[in-house]
Amino acid sequence: MENRPKKRIFIGLLVVTCLILFFFIFLLWYIPMVGLRNIHSSLPFLFTLVLAIFVFVMLSGGLLLVFTILSGKENFLSQKLRGIVAKVLFPFMILMGKVMGVSKGKVQQSFVELNNHLVRSNSHRTRPNRLLILLPHCIQNFDCQIKITGNIRNCKGCGKCEIKELVELSDVHQVKIAVATGGTLARRIIVENRPEAIVAVACELDLTTGIQDSYPIPVIGILNERPHGPCINTRADIQKVKEAILDFLGPEKVMGVPSKDV
């Protein structure tokens, strides 16, 4: 998954949306001017002031977002920006993507990349026992008869799927791990475990809704690989999962190295 082109999709759509929005704001400003002047001479000024503040806030927010993405540095609004991207901008970007012929899947992937970037630039740190690895059920080998939803540690570690390696990874870093069959179970797992941060593996649709639903909990989303098509024998990039874990735990908590605040 190439990071840069995907983030660019979201930023490109954002810029086009802003330009269109500014055009409509101009119309909104220009058209009622004549009528307002007839009501009171100071109303056009007040109306202009309100719209100017609105445009300023939007422009500053957009520039701050682009700056955060380009610099990769944390700023005092990083967390809020993540929320605005997830809750406000994303639905607009899907709509704009439709208008501009960018597929929903591509916009979702772009959103996940952008979210990951913002989470990482925010330098969230958590204790191992408050970090949750959340996996989709389709990673389990389709022919495996063992029930791992509810308790992933029922896995016998035969190695036919990546559940074995992921459980080992969670053991090494002493972080929680769970499998969800869908959004409802995923939400229940999150409520029960009360994680401070989540590393989620899923398809772009589930990652997108998961990131939105979990806000303000920071989520690093890792897109699963689907060599056999969607929802069957999918795969996770173990290296990416490991990197995401270390992003949350910080270098001082790498495998077996005791940390002062644990």
* 110 touching ligand SF4, by CB under 6 A: no
Cα separation, 178 vs 76, whole angstroms: 32
**Residues pairing with 235 in the sheet:** 225
Site string for ligand SF4, 58-87 (x = CB under 6 A): ------------------------------
* 161 touching ligand SF4, by CB under 6 A: yes
Restricted to residues 4-23, the positions that interact with ligand SF4 (CB under 6 A) are: none
- Strands 197-202 vs 176-180: parallel, antiparallel or unpaired: unpaired
Restricted to residues 228-247, the positions that interact with ligand SF4 (CB under 6 A) are: none
Between 122 and 141, name the residue whose CB sits nearer to ligand SF4: 141
* 159 touching ligand SF4, by CB under 6 A: yes
- For 197, list phi and psi in degrees, rounded to 5: -155, 155
Amino acid sitting at position 21: L
* 118 touching ligand SF4, by CB under 6 A: no
Stretch that binds ligand SF4, among 69-77, 107-115, 148-156, 172-180 (CB under 6 A): 148-156
* 148 touching ligand SF4, by CB under 6 A: yes
Amino acid sitting at position 164: K
* 105 touching ligand SF4, by CB under 6 A: no
CB 210 within 8 A of CB 186: yes
Q: Is the peptide bond before 136 cis (omega within 30 degrees of 0)?
A: no
- From the number of C-beta atoms within 10 Å of its C-beta (0-12, 13-18, 19+), residue 74 rates as middle
Among 49, 158, 172, 262, binds ligand SF4 (CB under 6 A): 158
CB 220 within 8 A of CB 244: yes
Among 69, 102, 107, 163, binds ligand SF4 (CB under 6 A): 163
CB 146 within 8 A of CB 156: yes
Size of residue set near ligand SF4 by CB under 6 A: 14
Between 123 and 151, name the residue whose CB sits nearer to ligand SF4: 151
Where do contacts with ligand SF4 occur on this chain (CB under 6 A)? 140-141, 144, 146, 148, 155-161, 163-164
